[in-house]
Chain A
Amino acid sequence: MTAAPTPRQGSRPVAVVSFAQAPNVRRDTAHNEVELLMPVITEVLGAVGITKDDLGFICSGSTDYLVGGPFSFVGALDAVGVWPPKSESHVEMDAAWALYEAWVRLQEDDVDTALVYGFGKSSMGDLGKILALQLDPYTMAPLWPDPVSLAALQARALLDRGLATERDFAEVAARSRRSALDNPKAQVAEDRTADELLGDDYVVAPLRRHSLPPLTDGAAAIVLAAGERAFELCERPAWITGIDHRVETHAVGARDLTASPSTAKAAEVAGVSAGPVEVAELHAAFAPQELILRRALGLSADPTGNGSTVVNPSGGPLAANALMAGGLIRIGEAAARIAGGTAGRVVAHATSGPVLQQNLVAVLEGA
């Protein structure tokens, strides 16, 4: 039997063995969170022939502020049906961090499999106002800065420093939308050139419509397995050989918004540069952020797709952006390249907070 590659962190190899996601639609008025999750969880477990009874640990990621009520994860747990009782936890973060918690838990050998899931319906409220409430409640939130305006400040800083052009933003969007044509779960998929996209109006200058992610309702789930269990469940497990996450200061004015030192640090710990990166799935919700992340990860700066690394072959967040699940979907999409046999070493990135405040980087490899 093939051996799992030696992980850089932890002592026990852990792999993504299954991934499923709901269609990333603009507005799902027919399903509540449990109904959104149930088919996803059924699919992710069924694909590797296990049931909830086989799970040693469960961890989810979500936020009450999208639902507009407390304990949204409590109801969502009904999508799993934890009876008899299960070892279970939840992070009020993107589910990529739930995956991190599960990966930590799997380092101890009393647990062999874990289910991770995340969900978010952006359609139920005014996202601009909701995400403003994520900011410092004393100095920033009272000004109600919306996420598009903050991303526009970041984009402007890139332009002012000569680190990118508006055409670069359009190239990122054109490539992402073209890639999404191959992703049946994506929301925005079309074949338009950067020149055509540059005809879009500004939403908040210098961001045109194509540089923004689509509002999305969605959910996703992953099954992790450790050691031999991964080979039993899956022909080609995507082994997490490195994973780390770092946070920066919250004060937007105190940060250099054109760089992502937290991504660079996480990438260093996860060992991104220790080998070729064939595919990278980047959680860049706004087109300019992909350029920042490419530099932080040491990938080609060319946004057109001519570099040696294929970036966001799923279409990425510009094609589908389910909050609280989007980071987990990046890990799932990257792992799917390993499972599908089209790549041997991939990188996944997830972000949380305003303009890339907190970042997670994972390296996944085939055996």
Chain B
Amino acid sequence: MAERCAVIGVGQTKCASKRLDVSIAGLVREAAVGALEDAGLGFGDIDAVVIGKAPDMFEGVMMPELYLAPALGAVGKPLLRVHTAGSVGGSTALVAAHLVTAGIHQRVLTVAFEKQSDSDAMWALSVPQPFAAPLLAGAGGYFAPIIRAYIRRSGAPADIGMKVAVKDRLHALKNPYAHLHLPDISMKMVEDSVVIWDPLHYLESCPSSDGAAAMVLGSESAAAASEAATGKRPAWVHGMAMRSEPTMFAGRDQVNPQAGRDCAAEVYRQAGVSNPRSDFDCAEVYVPFSWYEPMWLENLGFCDEGQGWRLTDEGATSLDGGDIPWNCSGGVLSSNPIGASGMLRFLEVALQVRGEAGEHQVDGVRRALGQAYGGGSQFFSMWVLGAERP
């Protein structure tokens, strides 16, 4: 990286099934204004805007950034729209961060959103395409067989997924922005919910959410100015990377994709991380279906292959006494505004590093990992944030 980059402002909306109180513009503006206020800035201080979201058919608006330009204070400025499937919230933040590290801009506003209630994501994912197998059961139908392959391969007990579902919903109770607040959540409640994609119970799946996330990313001088104005510490970017691989070809390992392993190796190299489980104080990882926690624990090198479920089983990833808490915010299992879900992972680690995570804060976070993935487990974006200037 040529120039340093830091998160200097963070904003997010309350996630809900239907945010009927706001238009799409109102939703993104709520997050954007929050991030600007957090950074002690106004729209006039921003050099460029980078916005991301998942497929446009999720709202039924083609290239909505055009209509959103005034709501985001982008008129007269550069505006970029990123779309990299489910990883988009993360890659949008990375595109924005590179505008700073490349030395092009001082302060960049980055925003991601989804207003799922405006359309129907299940329909949008299931439009028949010529010569392609229909994905009639949405994302869960795609991932369930991969999860079954993981269980068979690792010999994991059947209740591991349910443990993740309970743990993340307990975390969500400490996050006022989370969509799902289920105070009575229990193993029995998850087990009693209907199986929608074997082996996934209803409560082992993410919800459909309306929501938006925003961050202001700044250069070293911008970070110093915001810290002086707000008294809030910046969260420094220590490493960032994206990796993609094809959806399918003979021999592709969809359970433990190479692109995810490569992406992690690259951000760890940049950040000087050799043992993620001990070097990180917490992580926010894209877990839309419960079993993806043990699968990503292995893919990200927090343990050896086949051992991820043991960390979950032992409670290592719990905010309540675990040594490496994952998804303290409640994660994607508790809030899933699809296009924003990756950015929420990136944003939540910024909150943790800045000591601003409130009730779900992990004590003394020095370094944390944010991860997002998308497509058929083929697009990955990650960043490592740290409290110290690199």
Does B66 belong to the interface (CB within 8 Å)?
A: yes
Does B102 belong to the interface (CB within 8 Å)?
A: yes
Does A352 belong to the interface (CB within 8 Å)?
A: yes
Interface centre among B24, B124, B127, B244 (most CB of A within 10 A): B244
Return chain B residues, CB-CB under 8 Å to A261.
Answer: 76
* CB–CB A131/B246 < 8 A: no
* CB–CB A32/B82 < 8 A: no
**Cβ-closest chain A residue relative to B103:** A11
Return chain B residues, CB-CB under 8 Å to A81.
Answer: 246
- CB-contact partner of A83 in B56, B246, B376, under 8 A: B246
* CB–CB B69/A247 < 8 A: yes
- How many angstroms from the CA of A236 to the CA of B167 in the assembled complex? 60
Instruction: Kindly provide the distance from the CB of A260 to the nearest chain B CB, expressed in whole angstroms.
Output: 12
Instruction: Kindly provide the distance from the CB of B317 to the nearest chain A CB, expressed in whole angstroms.
Output: 26
Return chain A residues, CB-CB under 8 Å to B77.
Answer: 246-247
- How many angstroms from the CA of A9 to the CA of B246 in the assembled complex? 34
* CB–CB A78/B246 < 8 A: yes
**Cβ-closest chain B residue relative to A97:** B80
* CB–CB B82/A70 < 8 A: no
Instruction: Kindly provide the distance from the CB of A111 to the nearest chain B CB, expressed in whole angstroms.
Output: 10
- How many angstroms from the CA of A69 to the CA of B91 in the assembled complex? 21
Return chain A residues, CB-CB under 8 Å to B70.
Answer: 249-251
Classify chain A's interface size: 35 or more
- CB-contact partner of A71 in B60, B75, B85, under 8 A: B85
* CB–CB B24/A137 < 8 A: yes
**Cβ-closest chain A residue relative to B94:** A89
- How many angstroms from the CA of A213 to the CA of B64 in the assembled complex? 24
* CB–CB A131/B62 < 8 A: yes
Q: Given the interface contacts A105-B102, A246-B77, A251-B70, does A77 sit within 8 Å of B244 by beta carbon?
A: yes
**Cβ-closest chain B residue relative to A100:** B80
**Cβ-closest chain B residue relative to A124:** B130
List the one stretch of A276-284, A314-322, A353-361 in contact with chain B: A353-361
* CB–CB B83/A82 < 8 A: no
A residues touching B (Cβ–Cβ < 8 Å)? 9-11, 32, 58, 63-65, 67-71, 73-75, 77-78, 81-93, 97, 100-101, 104-105, 107-109, 130-131, 133-138, 141, 244-251, 261-262, 265, 352-354, 357-358
Given contacts A85-B245, A92-B63, A133-B60, 10 further A-B contacts (CB under 8 A): A10-B103, A70-B54, A70-B58, A70-B124, A84-B258, A88-B242, A91-B81, A130-B62, A134-B67, A250-B68
